[in-house]
Amino acid sequence: DETRQRVKFTDDRVCKSHLLDCCPHDILAGTRMDLGECTKIHDLALRADYEIASKERDLFFELDAMDHLESFIAECDRRTELAKKRLAETQEEISAEVSAKAEKVHELNEDIGKLLAKAEQLGAEGNVDESQKILMEVEKVRAKKKEAEEEYRNSMPASSFQQQKLRVCEVCSAYLGLHDNDRRLADHFGGKLHLGFIQIREKLDQLRKTVAEKQEKRNQDRLRRREEREREERMGRRSGSRNRDRRRSRSRERRRRRSRSASRERRKSRSRSRERHRRHRSRSRSHSRGHRRGSRDRSSKHKSSRDRSSREKSRDRERKEKGSAERRHESTNGKSRSKRSEEREAGEI
């Protein structure tokens, strides 16, 4: 089947009870309570795959199988209770004392049937000695049953004792008679139906224990992880607080360094400003001194230049005056000369 070849054991269509070998459809097949074919996929290859994978990791399929078996057993118990009510309505009511004696006879019948079924199983397996021991125990239980039947017969009227007193099997909800012979009891308790229900109930108890253990382990793991996470968070908070303290101390240290550097810079700037002020003052003083000296020199130079200019002017005046005097003198001389020449000419004439 190609569709089944493509299906994996983790698919929801696969019967998880079949993977754990406890599906009631497989166990009760061929009995009078045959449930027919299961609605989900049954495949031995998928069971083999599951067994291999379950060794490596926990798939937790026990929970699904447990739910399946619980629903099946609950339905079986419901049928048992209905059968008990039906018997109580049809059979005659008896006193509590007689009911207790009848119950004792039924219990001895169950013990005989179980022992006979076990003896037959051991004989089939070849364990003859153990089978013989169980048959000896059966004889003892039969003797006890005979005594219980005598007590029950003496406490009941003959007409009522001859009636068939039935009882519902608590395991498979089948009817058991008070006067059933050993062969029928052995067939019932050693039959496939009764043994199948025993297997289902035992498997259900085992699954409940397994699920409880796994849930407890999971809860412990979850609790441990939560504690580890809380511890890590506490450590993280502590480390965070330490880091914050470190950052704060570092920031304080940086602020201190900055304040120190700022104070140093301020002191340096103050010293530089003082130095610049001193230099400026010294420069201003030297400049004022040089200015005074320059003014003095300029004033002296100006005075000397004025003296020179005045002297030159005086010299120029003197030269001009001399020139004018010489010109006047020359003119007077020329005039005198011209007069003399005229006089000479006149005298000559």
What pLDDT, in 10s, does the model give residues 19-66? Answer: 998 899 998 888 888 888 888 998 888 889 888 998 888 888 888 899
Extract the tokens encoding 161: 């004792």
Q: Please report, as a single letter, which amino acid is at residue 246.
A: R
Q: How far apart are CA 24 and CA 80, in angstroms?
A: 17
Extract the tokens encoding 147: 């005594």
Predicted local distance difference test score (pLDDT) of residue 297? 57
Predicted local distance difference test score (pLDDT) of residue 163? 55
Q: How far apart are CA 127 and CA 133, in angstroms?
A: 10
Q: Please report, as a single letter, which amino acid is at residue 143.
A: A
User: H or E stretch including 348?
Assistant: helix 192-348
Q: Quick one: residue 173, left, alpha or beta (phi over 0 = left, psi -120 to 50 = alpha)? A: left
Predicted local distance difference test score (pLDDT) of residue 93? 58
Lowest mean pLDDT among 83-97, 121-135, 140-154, 157-171: 157-171
Q: Is residue 106 a contact partner of residue 84, using CB atoms and an 8 Å limit?
A: no
Q: Is residue 204 a contact partner of residue 70, using CB atoms and an 8 Å limit?
A: yes
pTM of the predicted model over 0.75: no
More confident residue, 2 or 140: 140
pLDDT band at 287 (very low <50, low <70, confident <90, very high): low
Lowest mean pLDDT among 177-191, 197-211, 222-236: 177-191
Residue 110: pLDDT over 60: yes
pLDDT cut 90: percent of the chain above it: 8
Lowest mean pLDDT among 74-88, 157-171, 239-253, 291-305: 291-305
Q: Quick one: residue 229, left, alpha or beta (phi over 0 = left, psi -120 to 50 = alpha)? A: alpha
Tens digit of each residue's pLDDT (9 = 90 or more) over 217-264: 888 888 888 888 888 888 877 776 777 777 777 777 877 877 777 777
- DSSP, res 57: S
More confident residue, 193 or 311: 193
Q: How far apart are CA 101 and CA 135, in angstroms?
A: 25
The SS3 of residue 14 is: strand
Q: How far apart are CA 254 and CA 258, in angstroms?
A: 6
> Distances from the Cα of 26 to the Cαs of 18, 54, 187, 190, 244, in angstroms?
8, 22, 21, 18, 67
pLDDT band at 288 (very low <50, low <70, confident <90, very high): low
Backbone angles phi, psi at 176, to 5 degrees: -125, 135
Extract the tokens encoding 241: 């607080």
Q: Is residue 112 a contact partner of residue 185, using CB atoms and an 8 Å limit?
A: yes
More confident residue, 302 or 328: 328
pLDDT cut 70: percent of the chain above it: 75
Extract the tokens encoding 62: 């026990």
Extract the tokens encoding 87: 């018997």
What is the pLDDT averaged over residues 210-221?
Answer: 88
Backbone angles phi, psi at 149, to 5 degrees: -65, -40
pLDDT band at 349 (very low <50, low <70, confident <90, very high): low
More confident residue, 336 or 281: 281
